[in-house]
């Protein structure tokens, strides 16, 4: 082959070109067919940046659909550092607007060439100032910011969130998976020089709204009165709970100290503690209702049983326990009304440790209530085998046992509703749009269980009424217009320095319900370490009164207490103003006409009852003053109560719905003031409801 020949040279060049072309196409084929995914992924990584945009959260409403928590759009600032010519100058300018050190901004800019967050969820005024500077390389992205329009209202129930909209307390935490949507995405596209040139964003999905059992107005009343009480007593902390005793719905949960969830990071950890669910304290004398309930339910005593309180002192296993007063002979009702420690201890000893322990557990102590709030404590109750010889005496008067406010109000509600223990809860339902979602997880209903017999609960309600009547320890809780019942507590706190009970630090409490025969609300008030007066009857009972007298009218609960002298005098004055007649000239008929303008109310000690003017009343009273018992069958609780009070009888109502049985029977003749027990038909019990306690089952 002649290499000098042009033809040969052309052939050689063509062959080399063919080989080179084949190699190039082979390489391209290899890259396209076998390495495509790898190089595409690397290109995407270099040219695209996906940033998570904070998830939005669904609304939280009160029971009347008033919004308590919502998400509102806010601006977040981010930078594309590759577009910033002078990072230090920009850092100084941005830092002045955001009140952030320039070095911190510069560090963020140096961390990436394509994207860096400058500030998340800026207040509108700061976002406007930053936007007005028109800095190259600084951009804005809309995100959802959590907003609590009522500020501190129900803060411990609602909880709070972090910068990424993750729930960190309350319902925001316990239902975070439902309320929180999936995070949105922001796609940033960059060129070969890592310069940003386009972006798109995908909005986060919507979450599930929550409707609470709380009532915004009742919550406000509870928080207002608690704050006033803290100011008046200088107490360290406090809790108020308002519950529907028939269902376990929590209408208000107030704690002090409190915080603003809009700025939760600026509050102390102590202020964010939900004391209603987690704060342990010895209940003191309030626990005597458990002691007496168990003793009466087991038949070892009755309200009229007389107990020798030994002039206020008793010895148990070599330990002397003194009463707050030197009582002698007291009935069981008086033991509760006067809060005798010695009397309660004697009844606890009659009952015995095993049965007493069973009733304590039946009332829900020593175990979680199951409330749908995070951080609940199970309380403190030692196992029966760990009780000491003095334990029965100590626990009978509310020492050596630790409870939470939620446990205590649940137990009192069980007495109020007829002996059934319900799970307290704050979540009413979940909604996605207009659709109500089925209960799941913490919303799954828990079967109520029987704590004591209905007859025992009815007896305890009457005994607890004696606490607020003349001579009881809770007279300052007596309501104007409604019957009420409850129990005071003044529990000494353990001094952490000495390990002994402190002579100066107490937990003053009152837990009660109203009205007695058809309870609408149960209210717990607990004040930790008030300064000065420390008794529950002096400190907590007046708070109960103020709250109840605002909540009951709001709930339109009918009054059931008779007119006292002050209200009657007001009626006379209105009559005088109308026709100029004098007080002496008023007739019984005129007086009755004035009373019709005011609510029909029940008879209680210390009140003046107007003369009967109803023909129904007059027909039931014979000339000798005796009363013929009418037929209550088929009547409602309110109708039975009004009939009894007009006749001068003392009604004891057991059950609910319509009257089905009564003692004494229709037509019997009784003296004025006689007690009439009326049994009402109750709904069928849940399939898995617990049976009443009986000694053979213990």
Domain boundary among 513, 538, 554: 554
What's the pLDDT tens digit per position in 277-323?
999 999 999 999 999 999 999 999 999 999 999 999 999 988 899 99
- The C-alpha atoms of residue 452 and residue 460 are separated, in whole angstroms, by 10
Same domain, 203 and 224: no
Is the four-CA dihedral 187, 191, 197, 198 of positive or negative sign? negative
What's the pLDDT tens digit per position in 651-671?
877 766 788 888 888 988 888
What's the pLDDT tens digit per position in 414-446?
999 999 999 999 999 998 877 777 655 555 566
Mean pLDDT for the stretch of residues 226-231: 96
Res 116: pLDDT: 85
Centre a 10 Å sphere on the Cβ of residue 323 and count the other Cβ atoms it contains. 21
Q: Is 437 inside a domain boundary?
A: no
- The C-alpha atoms of residue 339 and residue 404 are separated, in whole angstroms, by 21
Q: Is 592 inside a domain boundary?
A: no
Res 11: pLDDT: 82
Structural domain span for residue 21: 6-34
Q: Is 298 inside a domain boundary?
A: yes
Same domain, 186 and 269: no
Same domain, 523 and 474: yes
What's the pLDDT tens digit per position in 347-402?
999 999 999 999 999 999 999 999 999 999 999 999 999 999 999 999 999 999 99
- The C-alpha atoms of residue 572 and residue 586 are separated, in whole angstroms, by 8
- How many domains does the chain contain in total? 4
Same domain, 79 and 29: no
Query: Which CATH number belongs to the domain containing residue 647 in this structure?
Result: 3.30.10.20
Mean pLDDT for the stretch of residues 221-241: 96
Res 604: pLDDT: 39
Rg (CA), the chain: 36
Res 526: pLDDT: 97
Residue 591 structure tokens: 């007086």
Domain boundary among 554, 574, 595: 554
Same domain, 108 and 201: yes
More confident site: 33 or 446:
33
> Highest mean pLDDT range out of 182-186, 533-537, 584-588?
533-537
Nearest CA to 285 among 29, 40, 536? 536
Lowest model confidence (mean pLDDT) among 474-483, 565-574, 577-586, 608-617: 608-617
Mean pLDDT for the stretch of residues 264-268: 92
Q: Tell me the residue ranges of DSSP E strands in 409-448.
A: 420-421, 427-432, 435-437
Task: Check if the beta carbon of residue 332 is closer than 8 Å to that of residue 304.
Answer: yes
Query: Residue 85 gets which letter from DSSP?
Result: S
Following CA atoms 14, 17, 19, 20 in sequence, which dihedral angle do they give, to the nearest 10 degrees?
180
Same domain, 332 and 474: yes
Give the model's confidence band at 170: pLDDT under 50 very low, under 70 low, under 90 confident, else very high. very high
Q: Is 563 inside a domain boundary?
A: no
Which secondary structure element, helix H or strand E, spans residue 120, and what is its range?
A: strand 116-122
Mean pLDDT for the stretch of residues 110-125: 83
Query: Residue 384 gets which letter from DSSP?
Result: G
Residue 142 structure tokens: 């809309």
Contact residues for 627 (Cβ-Cβ < 8 A; gap 6+): 620, 621, 647, 648, 649, 669, 670, 671, 672, 674
Same domain, 82 and 100: yes
DSSP 223-273: HHHHHHHHHHH--SEEEEEEE-TTT-BEEEEEEES---GGGGGGS-TTTT-
Same domain, 504 and 618: no
More confident site: 38 or 204:
38
Strand 237-243 to 313-316 pairing: unpaired
> Highest mean pLDDT range out of 11-20, 38-47, 511-520, 689-698?
511-520
Res 250: pLDDT: 97
Same domain, 269 and 400: yes
Res 643: pLDDT: 86
**In the chain, what percentage of residues exceed pLDDT 90?**
48
Residues in the chain: 698
Q: Is 119 inside a domain boundary?
A: yes
The Cβ-side half-sphere exposure at 420, using a 13 Å CA radius, reads: 23
Domain boundary among 507, 529, 554: 554
Per the prediction, the chain carries an average pLDDT of 82
pLDDT at 584 over 80: no
Phi, psi angles (nearest 5°) of residue 61: -115, 160
Q: Is 647 inside a domain boundary?
A: yes
- The C-alpha atoms of residue 123 and residue 75 are separated, in whole angstroms, by 8
Same domain, 493 and 351: yes
Res 401: pLDDT: 95
Following CA atoms 260, 264, 269, 273 in sequence, which dihedral angle do they give, to the nearest 10 degrees?
50
Give the model's confidence band at 48: pLDDT under 50 very low, under 70 low, under 90 confident, else very high. low
pLDDT at 477 over 50: yes
Q: Is 618 inside a domain boundary?
A: yes
- The C-alpha atoms of residue 383 and residue 403 are separated, in whole angstroms, by 15
Give the model's confidence band at 581: pLDDT under 50 very low, under 70 low, under 90 confident, else very high. very low
Same domain, 97 and 199: yes
The three-state secondary structure class of 559 is coil
pLDDT at 246 over 80: yes
Res 298: pLDDT: 96
Q: Is 118 inside a domain boundary?
A: yes
pLDDT at 112 over 90: no
Our separate counts of H helices and E strands in the chain read 23, 26
Same domain, 17 and 69: no
Contact residues for 30 (Cβ-Cβ < 8 A; gap 6+): none
DSSP 185-206: EEEEEE-TT--EEEEEEEPPPP
More confident site: 611 or 136:
136
Lowest model confidence (mean pLDDT) among 362-366, 460-464, 594-598, 680-684: 594-598
pTM: 0.73
């Amino acid at each position: 082959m002649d290499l000098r020949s042009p033809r040969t040279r052309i052939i050689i060049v063509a062959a080399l070109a063919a080989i080179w072309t084949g190699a190039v196409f082979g390489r391209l084929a290899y890259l396209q067919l076998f390495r495509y995914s790898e190089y595409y992924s690397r290109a995407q990584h270099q040219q695209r940046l996906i940033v998570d945009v904070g998830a939005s959260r669904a609304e939280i409403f009160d029971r009347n659909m008033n919004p308590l928590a919502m998400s509102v759009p806010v601006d977040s600032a981010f930078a594309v550092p590759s577009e910033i010519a002078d990072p230090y100058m920009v850092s100084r300018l941005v830092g002045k607007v955001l009140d952030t050190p320039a070095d911190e901004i510069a560090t963020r800019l140096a961390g990436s060439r394509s994207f860096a967050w400058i500030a998340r969820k800026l207040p509108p005024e700061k976002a406007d100032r930053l936007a007005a500077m028109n800095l190259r390389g600084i951009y804005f992205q809309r995100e959802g910011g959590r907003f609590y329009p009522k500020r501190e209202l129900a803060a411990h129930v609602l909880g709070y969130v972090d910068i990424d909209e993750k729930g960190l307390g309350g319902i925001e935490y316990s239902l975070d998976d439902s309320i929180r949507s999936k995070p949105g995405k922001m796609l940033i596209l960059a060129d070969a020089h890592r310069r940003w040139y386009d972006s798109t964003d995908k909005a986060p999905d919507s979450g599930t709204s929550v409707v609470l059992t709380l009532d915004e107005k009742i919550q406000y009343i509870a928080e207002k009165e608690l704050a006033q009480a803290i100011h008046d007593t200088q107490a360290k902390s406090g809790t108020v709970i308002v519950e529907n005793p028939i269902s376990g719905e929590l209408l208000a949960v107030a704690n002090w100290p409190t915080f603003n969830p809009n700025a939760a990071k600026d509050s102390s950890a102590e202020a964010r503690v939900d004391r209603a669910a987690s704060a342990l304290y010895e209940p003191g004398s309030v626990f005597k209702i458990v002691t007496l309930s168990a003793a009466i339910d087991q038949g070892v005593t009755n309200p009229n049983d007389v107990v020798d309180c030994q002039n206020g002192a008793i010895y148990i296993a070599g330990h002397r326990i003194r009463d707050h007063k030197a009582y002698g002979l007291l009935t069981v009702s008086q033991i509760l009304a006067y809060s005798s420690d010695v009397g309660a201890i004697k009844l606890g000893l009659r009952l015995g440790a095993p049965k007493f322990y069973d009733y304590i557990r039946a009332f829900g102590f020593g175990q979680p209530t199951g409330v749908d709030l995070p951080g609940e404590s199970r309380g403190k109750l030692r196992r029966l085998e760990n009780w000491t010889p003095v334990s029965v005496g100590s626990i009978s008067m509310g020492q050596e046992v630790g409870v939470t406010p939620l446990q205590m109000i649940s137990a009192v509600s069980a007495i109020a509703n007829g002996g059934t223990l319900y799970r307290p809860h704050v979540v009413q339902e979940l909604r996605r749009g207009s659709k109500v979602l089925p209960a799941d997880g913490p919303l799954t209903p828990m079967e109520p269980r029987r704590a004591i017999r209905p007859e025992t609960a009815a007896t305890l309600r009457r005994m607890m009424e004696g606490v607020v009547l003349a001579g009881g320890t809770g007279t300052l809780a007596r309501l104007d217009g409604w019957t009420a019942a409850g129990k005071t507590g003044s529990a000494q706190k353990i001094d952490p320095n000495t390990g002994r009970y402190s002579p100066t630090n107490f937990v003053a409490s009152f837990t009660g319900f109203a009205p007695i025969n058809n309870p609408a609300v149960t209210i717990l008030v607990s004040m930790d370490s008030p300064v000065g007066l420390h008794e529950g009857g002096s400190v907590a009972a007046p708070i109960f009164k103020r709250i109840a007298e605002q909540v009951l009218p709001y709930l339109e609960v009918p009054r059931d207490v008779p007119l006292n002298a002050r209200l009657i005098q007001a009626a006379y004055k209105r009559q005088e103003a109308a026709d100029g007649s004098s007080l002496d000239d008023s007739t019984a008929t005129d007086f009755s006409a004035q009373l019709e303008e005011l609510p029909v109310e029940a008879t209680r000690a210390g009140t003046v009852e107007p003369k009967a003017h109803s023909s129904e009343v007059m027909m039931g009273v014979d000339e000798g003053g005796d009363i013929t018992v009418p037929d209550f069958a088929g009547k409602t609780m309110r109708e039975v109560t009004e009939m009894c009070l007009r006749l001068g009888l003392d009604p004891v109502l057991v059950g609910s719905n319509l009257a089905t049985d009564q003692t004494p029977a229709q037509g019997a003749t009784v003296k004025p003031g006689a007690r009439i027990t009326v049994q009402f038909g109750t709904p069928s019990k849940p399939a898995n409801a617990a049976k009443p306690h009986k000694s053979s089952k213990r």
